[in-house]
Structure formats: C-alpha cells, structure tokens
Amino acid sequence: MASISLQGITKHFGDVTAVDDMQLDIADGEFFVLLGPSGAGKTTTLRLIAGLETPDAGCLRMNGNDMTAAAPAQRDCAFVFQQYSLYPHLTVYDNIAFPLRAPMRRLDEEVIRRRVETVAAMLHIEGKLQRKPTALSGGEMQRVAIGRALVREPRVYLMDEPLSSLDAGLREELRVELKRLQRSSGATVVYVTHDQVEATTLADRIAILEHGRIRQVGTPLEIYDRPQSLEVAQRLGSPAVNILPAAWFAGIASPHAQHVAIRPEDVILAPDEGEQGYEVIESSLVKHLVVAERLGVEVRARTMLDKALAPGARVRLTFPPERCMFFDASGRRLAA
C-alpha cells in the first residue's frame, strides 16, 4: 500500500492550466475522492499520479519516495478508466487475467483462475467469462474493466468515474462492495467522480476541485457542515443548500455578508394563513420536501407532514441563526 503526496503539482495543456499548484496528501490505506465538475482537473490529477502525464512543476511522492519522473510500471497503480479500454480479441477471462500474466508479476495459472473467478462473481459477470467484449453491454464491459484492476491487488487503485455507465441498482451495490474491499485489503484508493452521492458514501476524505485548484479537503461531514466557501457549500447536499439574500437577516448577519446559506433540513416550516408567508410551489411526501417562494427567491425545506401541501398554499419559514452560514461577495465564509 502507499501514501501519496502532491507538492506544488502544476500541469498545463497549451494555455489551459489543468492542475494549478496542487498541495495534497493522501494517507496510506485511505479511500480518497476527488469531487468536482467536468474540467475541474480530476482526471488529469489521476493521470499525474499514475505517471501517464508529467507535471510541469512540483513533486510527487509515494511512501515518501520521489516518483515524479518514475515510469508508470514502477508506481504499481491500477487504473480504471472511464472508457472501458478492453482487448477486443481476448475473452472476458483473459482480459481480467491479463495483468497477472505480465512478465513483472506472472502468477501460477491456478492462482490466476481463483482470483479471476472471485472478482467475476463479485461483479456478477461469472457467466460471461468466455465471451468477447464485443458481445457485452456497456455496463458489462465497465465491470470487466473494474475487475481487471481489482484482480491485480496493487498498492494504489486509481478510478476515474468507474460506475458512471452502470444502472442505478448495480451502481449502488458496487459502491458498497468497493468500500468493503478497500477496507478489507487496506488499499489506497483515489476515486474521481462528479456525483456527490458516490463521494459522500465512499470517501474517508474528499477534495473539492474547481478549475484545477483544491477548494477544500475534509471528511464528507466536515465539508457538509463547515464549507469554507459558497461554491463548496453548493457542491454537497441534495436537495441543494438554500442561498438567501443577506437583507433578510438584518441585525443578524455581518455587514460584510452578501449571501446567507442554510440547509433545507435546518429550515423550520409551519402553516401560515397570512399574506406575508411563503407560497408553496411544490410539495413531495416521498422526498419530504417543500419548495416555497417569496419575493422571487425559492426556498427548500424538509418536512415530515402527513399530507402534501397544495401549490399556492402559504407557509411560514424560520431560519435559525445558529444554522445559517454567512458569505461575503467573493463567496468566502465569514465567522458567525
């Protein structure tokens, strides 16, 4: 297993800075998630760790050793790409077994068979082992690609949105299985996703990336409860955090506050027959959610009411000051 340290890593592609002075330490045996939108620099970071890209500046260390110029084969990383990258002329069995037959780590065929069958059963493709990849669905091909990485038992797994092409049920099942395998093996996993559900269910810690820079690193709960910026607050949470005008909080908010954020579960909801309340736009018993509007601002609130509110109904919403988060015009978090 391995710890990973990126020290001032920068990578340019022409005029585009894909990774900008990245400072990041990933502990040995940690399930670490890089979360951010497309173009944030997540995949480039994985490729830099794997040695598939060379940084323009900075140093990359694994277990304290400088690996900045080391070849990919010296790093012992297994990479699961977003695209399947399978060998079309080989069977599923031989695709999964391929890394175990490499000259540097060639194993006995009986050991290979046991490993391949174990991984195939976990991924529900044990009945597909003698097929060619061209006879598989997209989701099945992605499972083969995941299996090819899992069977290797490397010191670092690098996973680039590996579950994105799977159906919802299998995606949820494999999230649980990947986490279980990582805990039992003690492997270091660096996992890329734009899906906050994946990030919060899998990660020991998360790094929020935007435009090639890390905005915040912490456990899912730390980032959810104590975001350092408005963009980080908006990155986690479903339904999304409410962003309200600071003018609604006169006498409570700092004079420097431009925005006030509050999670839907922290909004207190009550019926209101008056004209000054909020007008219900949508109410869902399944999601336990009410969406209301006032002065053109939509507010989402959690509710445990036993019946849905009709659109147009009036409700009173209260925002406890101790649960509000205040941000200045630049989006920086202010002290409460």
Q: Do residues 154 and 77 lie in contact, with contact meaning Cβ atoms separated by under 8 Å?
A: yes
> Is residue 275's pLDDT more than 70?
no
> Is residue 273's pLDDT more than 70?
no
* pLDDT range class, residue 177, cuts 50, 70, 90: confident
Parallel/antiparallel/unpaired status of strands 278-284 and 314-318: antiparallel
Identify which has the larger pLDDT, 16 or 170: 16
Q: What average pLDDT does this structure show over 251-279?
A: 87
DSSP class per residue in 65-84:
EE-TT--GGGTTEEEE-SS-
Residue type, 320: P
Which DSSP letter does residue 308 get? P
Q: What average pLDDT does this structure show over 196-225?
A: 95
Q: How many CB atoms lie within 10 A of CB 217?
A: 17
Residue 296 has φ and ψ, to the nearest 5°, of 80, 5
pLDDT value for 63: 94
Q: Indicate the pTM of the whole model.
A: 0.88
* pLDDT range class, residue 158, cuts 50, 70, 90: very high
Q: What average pLDDT does this structure show over 201-227?
A: 96
Convert the pLDDT of each residue in 277-300 to its tens digit.
899 999 988 888 999 999 899 999
Q: Kindly give the residue spans of alpha helices, DSSP state H, lying in 87-208.
A: 92-97, 109-122, 138-150, 168-185, 196-202
Burial 178-201 (b: 16+ CB within 10 A, else e): bbebbeeeebbbbbbbbbbebbbe
Convert the pLDDT of each residue in 106-152 to its tens digit.
889 999 999 999 999 988 899 999 999 989 987 788 889 889 988 98
Residue listed under structure tokens 């005008």:
245
Q: Do residues 4 and 76 lie in contact, with contact meaning Cβ atoms separated by under 8 Å?
A: no
Which DSSP letter does residue 310 get? P
> Is residue 272's pLDDT more than 80?
no
The mean pLDDT of the chain is 91
pLDDT value for 82: 75
Strands of the sheet containing 4-13, edge to edge, are 16-26, 4-13, 57-62, 65-66
